[in-house]
Amino acid sequence: MSLSSEVAKRRTFAIISHPDAGKTTLTERLLLSGGAIQMAGNVKARKSGRHATSDWMELEKQRGISVTSSVMQFEYGGKMINLLDTPGHADFSEDTYRTLTAVDSALMVIDIAKGVEERTIKLMDVCRLRTTPIMTFVNKMDREGRDPIEVMDEVESVLDILCAPMTWPVGTGKLFRGVYRIYDDTIHLFAGRPGNDKEKDTFIDGLHSAEADAALGGYAAELRDELELVQGASNEFDLEFYLSGELTPVFFGSAINNLGIDELMENFARYAPPPQGRAAQTREVSSAEESFSGFVFKIQANMDPSHHDRIAFMRITSGHFEKGKKLRHVRLKRDMAINNASTFMASRRDQIEEAYAGDILGVHNHGTIQIGDTFTEGEELKFTGIPNFAPELFRRVRLRDPLRAKALQKGLIQLSEEGATQVFRPLNNNDMILGAVGILQFDVVAHRLKAEYNVECAFDAVPVATARWLHFPDAKMEEEFLRKNESNVARDGADSLTYVAPNMVNLQLTIERWPDVEFRKTREI
Ligand code: GDP
């Protein structure tokens, strides 16, 4: 098959949802329907830490959560689908944000009983940074929930995106027995629950057919009235609006019962965008280019802590990869033969043979690769748009054994390069301040410092409320600003200057006082 048809087959996406909405259950269903795993339960097993083999992973096991995200590949409807998992626990991490920079679309899962929840709002904000197209799956229709119309209204008003229902539930709660496919005017009635015996399902042509009356009895008229109302109040599906992130097609179903998922996936395979181009500093790189390029969006410490072995997750932006291919590590200005890259076929972690734009490579390394690194076939490219986010939580590191200060510094710089935490070193003292987006990141850092660097430390509260990356119009202003604000300026892990504000009022006043200085909420790596 040609390069262009291989690339055109790829669909790379992530699921965004609030914890408990059903992301794991749906993931499992998708893998099953793609034939990628033999039995249900694998994803759950991973969630509870079955693969935990290092001390650090021990943390996941103890808490029964997945701290790291991974990549799963499966086939559906002739498409090669890459599903990038985002951490499922209640905490919020930067990995999640950055994973969203590596996908071409997202699937939002909403619990019919809960509607739009807090995490969904945050994740949508991140998707907006790159106008990622979003499909919506309203889950748990087998339960008594809220009125579907009301939930769609909430999506529209809270998330500021238009809804186009693609399916509509035939009955809800105990009476949920099918979906009406608005997109092709077909009623799909489930044979039973769970819906694994699909051959027995019934498909009826036309909502207004006599067959519909025969199958649904008195409910047929009710369903017709409801749809008239729904279609009057919502939008029709429009591919262009979906691709520009202004409209989300909405599907209803039940992940655990395997109901309504075929409709979702069929339309996902049909409409979700193939690999998109990416902006680099010098030019826009198209996914149709033959020459290889890719960027690293995530680093995961590997199973063996004593070797500091890590996997760099690289999204291929253009071209083709095969085992042993020589790639240019642009930042280090060095060519590397990539012999041990893996891909992620569901539960197996295969040695990769070939991969194409849209796919994710897992490249083993010993710390030579950082988040944000670009790889090419020789061109001096640097992809942009992989963000560090302004942390919202801060702690001062207290070393238990002062003689381990050097090891601590080394460990923290490496962990910050990996994106596990952010480090801030104030200009006017020797503190090490850690910043995180989610509270659990501190636990992970403490755990890994001990396991991998033999450093024991504790964390103290520190009067820092937020950080902003500073950009000055000229050196003179920079000097003046630093002189007047020295006690509130720090260098991050990459030596960039940041303003660390003791509180939001202070930040606001400083911004007003220095109108020509930029205070950025993200730093591009
Ligand atoms: P996650 O935190 O988003 O990954 O959510 P999970 O997939 O772990 O699901 C959370 C809970 O909801 C679990 O107890 C699931 O069994 C349950 N669940 C998932 N899908 C459905 C569904 O369609 N109907 C019902 N009733 N429960 C569901």
**Could you report the per-residue pLDDT of 434-472, keeping only the tens digit for each?**
998 777 788 888 988 998 889 999 999 999 999 999 999
Confidence at residue 448, expressed as pLDDT on a 0 to 100 scale: 85
Residue 52, judged by CB atoms within 10 A of its CB (0-12, 13-18, 19+), counts as middle
Helix spans in 255-362 (H): 261-271
CB 411 within 8 A of CB 423: no
CATH number, position 437:
3.30.70.3280
In DSSP terms, which residues pair with 422 in a beta bridge?
A: 435
Q: Which residue is closest in CA terms to ligand 1's atom 22?
A: 140
Task: Say if residue 37 is in the same domain as residue 182.
Answer: yes
Task: Say if residue 228 is in the same domain as residue 298.
Answer: no
Residue 162, judged by CB atoms within 10 A of its CB (0-12, 13-18, 19+), counts as middle
Confidence at residue 413, expressed as pLDDT on a 0 to 100 scale: 85
Task: Say if residue 308 is in the same domain as residue 341.
Answer: yes
Residue 243 counted as domain residue: yes
Task: Say if residue 114 is in the same domain as residue 245.
Answer: yes
Query: Is the per-residue pLDDT at 417 higher than 90?
Result: no
- What token pair was written down for 519? 């205070």
Query: Is the per-residue pLDDT at 348 higher than 50?
Result: no
Q: What pTM value is reported for the model?
A: 0.83
DSSP 2-31: -HHHHHHHEEEEEEEE-TTSSHHHHHHHHH
Residue 76 counted as domain residue: no
Residue 492 counted as domain residue: yes
Q: Which residues of 434-469 are buried (b: 16+ CB within 10 A; e: fewer)?
A: bbbbbebbbbbbbbbbbbbbebebebeebebbbbbb
Residue 35 counted as domain residue: yes
- Is the complex ipTM higher than 0.85? yes
Q: Using the 3D structure, point to which of 219, 251, 271 is the last residue of a domain.
A: 271
Q: How many angstroms is it from 23 CA to the middle of ligand 1?
A: 7
Residue 161 counted as domain residue: yes
Q: How many angstroms is it from 45 CA to the middle of ligand 1?
A: 15
Confidence at residue 371, expressed as pLDDT on a 0 to 100 scale: 87
Confidence at residue 343, expressed as pLDDT on a 0 to 100 scale: 67
Beta strands in 96-165 (DSSP E): 105-111, 134-139, 162-165
Q: How many angstroms is it from 254 CA to the middle of ligand 1?
A: 9
Task: Kindly state the percentage of the chain with pLDDT values over 70.
Answer: 88
Confidence at residue 521, expressed as pLDDT on a 0 to 100 scale: 85
Q: Using the 3D structure, point to which of 319, 347, 376 is the last residue of a domain.
A: 376
Confidence at residue 339, expressed as pLDDT on a 0 to 100 scale: 83
| Atom number of ligand 1 nearest to Cα 44 | 8
Question: Among 27-31, 146-150, 370-374, which range has the highest average pLDDT?
Answer: 146-150
Cα(41)–Cα(47) distance, integer angstroms: 10
Picking from 52-56, 126-130, 184-188, which range would have the lowest pLDDT averaged per residue?
52-56
Give SS3 for 190.
Answer: coil
Task: Say if residue 199 is in the same domain as residue 287.
Answer: no
Task: Kindly state the percentage of the chain with pLDDT values over 90.
Answer: 62
Contact residues of ligand 1, CB 6 A cut-off: 17, 19-25, 88, 139-140, 142-143, 254-257
Task: Say if residue 467 is in the same domain as residue 484.
Answer: yes
Task: Say if residue 434 is in the same domain as residue 364.
Answer: no
Q: In the chain, what's the furthest Cα-to-Cα distance? A: 83
Task: Say if residue 368 is in the same domain as residue 495.
Answer: no
Task: Say if residue 228 is in the same domain as residue 137.
Answer: yes
- What token pair was written down for 389? 């986010």
- What token pair was written down for 264? 């979702």
Output 167 or 232, whichever has higher pLDDT. Answer: 167
CB 72 within 8 A of CB 85: yes
Q: Which residue is closest in CA terms to ligand 1's atom 10?
A: 20
Q: How many angstroms is it from 266 CA to the middle of ligand 1?
A: 22
Number of domains the chain contains: 3
Task: Say if residue 51 is in the same domain as residue 191.
Answer: yes
Containing structural domain, residue 484: 390-524
Confidence at residue 341, expressed as pLDDT on a 0 to 100 scale: 81
Q: Using the 3D structure, point to which of 232, 247, 271 is the last residue of a domain.
A: 271
Confidence at residue 437, expressed as pLDDT on a 0 to 100 scale: 79
Output 262 or 416, whichever has higher pLDDT. Answer: 262
The answer for residues whose C-beta is within 8 angstroms of residue 202's C-beta and 6 or more apart is 187, 188, 189, 191, 215
CB 416 within 8 A of CB 495: no
Q: How many angstroms is it from 20 CA to the middle of ligand 1?
A: 6
Task: Give me Rg for the CA atoms of the chain.
Answer: 25
Residue 80 counted as domain residue: no
Residue 91 counted as domain residue: no
Give SS3 for 214.
Answer: helix
Q: In degrees, to the nearest 5, what angle opens at C-alpha 387 toward C-alphas 385 and 388?
A: 160
Q: Which residue is closest in CA terms to ligand 1's atom 2?
A: 20
Mean pLDDT of the region 347-361: 74
CATH number, position 170:
3.40.50.300
Residue 285 counted as domain residue: yes
* Residue of 79, 57, 55, 84 lying closest to 69 (CA atoms): 84
Residue at token pair 């929840």: 117
- What token pair was written down for 168? 């509509």
Q: Which of 16, 18, 25, 30, when mutated, tests ligand 1's pocket best, judged by the most ligand atoms within 8 Å of its CB?
A: 25
Picking from 79-83, 305-309, 383-387, which range would have the lowest pLDDT averaged per residue?
305-309
Question: Among 114-123, 288-297, 386-395, 447-456, which range has the highest average pLDDT?
Answer: 288-297
Q: Which of 30, 256, 259, 264, when mutated, tests ligand 1's pocket best, judged by the most ligand atoms within 8 Å of its CB?
A: 256
Q: Which residue is closest in CA terms to ligand 1's atom 27?
A: 140
Sheet strand arrangement including 334-337? 334-337, 326-329, 374-376, 293-301, 310-318, 360-365, 341-342
Query: Is the per-residue pLDDT at 91 higher than 60?
Result: no
Output 1 or 37, whichever has higher pLDDT. Answer: 1
Mean pLDDT of the region 338-366: 75
- For the chain, give the number of residues: 525
User: How does the average pLDDT of the chain come out, rounded?
Assistant: 87
Q: Which residues are annotated as a binding site?
A: 17-24, 85-89, 139-142
Confidence at residue 387, expressed as pLDDT on a 0 to 100 scale: 76
Q: How confident is the model at residue 499 (pLDDT cuts 50, 70, 90)?
A: very high
CB 455 within 8 A of CB 391: no
Q: Which residues are annotated as a binding site for GTP?
A: 17-24, 85-89, 139-142
Query: Is the per-residue pLDDT at 385 higher than 90?
Result: no
Q: How confident is the model at residue 42 (pLDDT cuts 50, 70, 90)?
A: very low
Task: Say if residue 267 is in the same domain as residue 362.
Answer: no
pLDDT, tens digit (0-9, with 9 covering 90-100), for 196-233 = 888 899 999 999 999 999 999 999 999 999 999 999 98
- What token pair was written down for 327? 């790639």
Q: How many angstroms is it from 109 CA to the middle of ligand 1?
A: 11
Confidence at residue 47, expressed as pLDDT on a 0 to 100 scale: 45
| Atom number of ligand 1 nearest to Cα 19 | 2
Output 386 or 426, whichever has higher pLDDT. Answer: 426
Query: Is the per-residue pLDDT at 39 higher than 50?
Result: no
Q: How many angstroms is it from 54 CA to the middle of ligand 1?
A: 28
Task: Say if residue 370 is in the same domain as residue 419.
Answer: no
CB 250 within 8 A of CB 115: no
Cα(216)–Cα(213) distance, integer angstroms: 5
Confidence at residue 44, expressed as pLDDT on a 0 to 100 scale: 44
Query: Is the per-residue pLDDT at 304 higher than 50?
Result: yes
Query: Is the per-residue pLDDT at 35 higher than 80?
Result: no
Give SS3 for 498.
Answer: strand
Q: Which residues of 382-396 are buried (b: 16+ CB within 10 A; e: fewer)?
A: ebebbbbbbbebbbb
